[in-house]
């Protein structure tokens, strides 16, 4: 599989660390050239260097929901590497925790803006100059919280449920030349998820049939499969990657 993405270019958003970094790393290892994004340029520069430097990876700093940043990133991918074959919408935020009835509405609007509207906008920006003519593969990183109740993160879960709907709708509209799929992870051990397991990892993992939390490689390997030609008959689905925990009725 070392050359599965040879000659292809990807954009991975929110890729300075965590799941996004893991997916970018996997794509590079299999031959892709990757443009990664994140808000902080210093972290992005470190990630790009770790991923192999400018021959393989370029970092473009900016806010995921900023249209000018999106356009600049897309242009960088096409101008620097000659194509834009893969888009990974990984960026997600959850600035609030608690019951829905107490959710700050400003924060709720921001969550929808970044987790859903920005994902759509990234695809629009990628579609117009490249994918409309050449096709491509898109992956939206959702959450198991979008599949069933998850205490304290209800609006985040609602945004990920919306993202799953957008994934299905876009797959119908853009087939056959563009495939759109999603992954819905449960707890993966990243900085984003630390509040969900910090100091109680063993207790959190006990609810999982596989008796461990996820790691970034669990998601990155699945992402690479869905983005590859091996998944050429798969589109419109959001696949739960959760160590079996949603089978137990807990998030």
Separation between Cα atoms, residue 49 and residue 85, nearest integer Å: 22
CA torsion, ordered 54, 26, 142, 213, to nearest 10 deg? -130
Separation between Cα atoms, residue 211 and residue 193, nearest integer Å: 17
Catalytic residue among 156, 165, 208, 239: 156
- Positive or negative torsion for Cα 224, 225, 231, 235: negative
Active-site residue flag, 197: no
Q: Which two tokens stand for residue 67?
A: 């249209």
Asked whether the beta carbons of 175 and 235 are under 8 A apart, the reply is yes
Residues belonging to the active site? 156
């Amino acid at each position: 599989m070392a050359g599965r993405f040879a000659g292809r270019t990807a954009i991975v958003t929110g890729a300075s660390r965590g799941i996004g970094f893991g997916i970018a790393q996997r794509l590079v290892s299999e031959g892709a050239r990757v443009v990664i994004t994140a808000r902080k340029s210093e972290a992005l520069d470190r990630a790009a260097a770790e991923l192999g430097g400018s021959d393989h990876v370029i970092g473009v700093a900016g806010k995921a929901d900023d249209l000018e940043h999106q356009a600049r990133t897309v242009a960088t991918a096409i101008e620097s590497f000659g194509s834009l074959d893969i888009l990974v919408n990984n960026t997600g935020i959850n600035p609030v925790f608690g019951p829905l009835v107490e959710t700050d509405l400003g924060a709720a609007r921001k969550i929808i803006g970044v987790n859903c509207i920005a994902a759509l906008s990234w695809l629009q920006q990628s579609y117009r100059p490249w994918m409309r003519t050449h096709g491509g593969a898109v992956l939206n990183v959702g959450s198991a919280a979008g599949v069933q109740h998850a205490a304290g993160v209800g609006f985040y879960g609602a945004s990920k449920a919306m993202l799953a709907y957008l994934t299905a709708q876009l797959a119908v509209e853009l087939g056959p030349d563009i495939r759109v799929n999603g992954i819905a992870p449960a707890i993966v051990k990243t900085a984003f998820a630390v509040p969900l397991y910090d100091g109680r990892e063993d207790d959190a993992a006990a609810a999982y049939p596989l008796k461990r939390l996820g790691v970034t490689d669990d998601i990155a390997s699945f992402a690479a499969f869905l983005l590859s030609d091996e998944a050429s008959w798969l589109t419109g689905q959001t696949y739960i990657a959760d160590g079996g925990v949603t089978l137990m009725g807990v998030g």
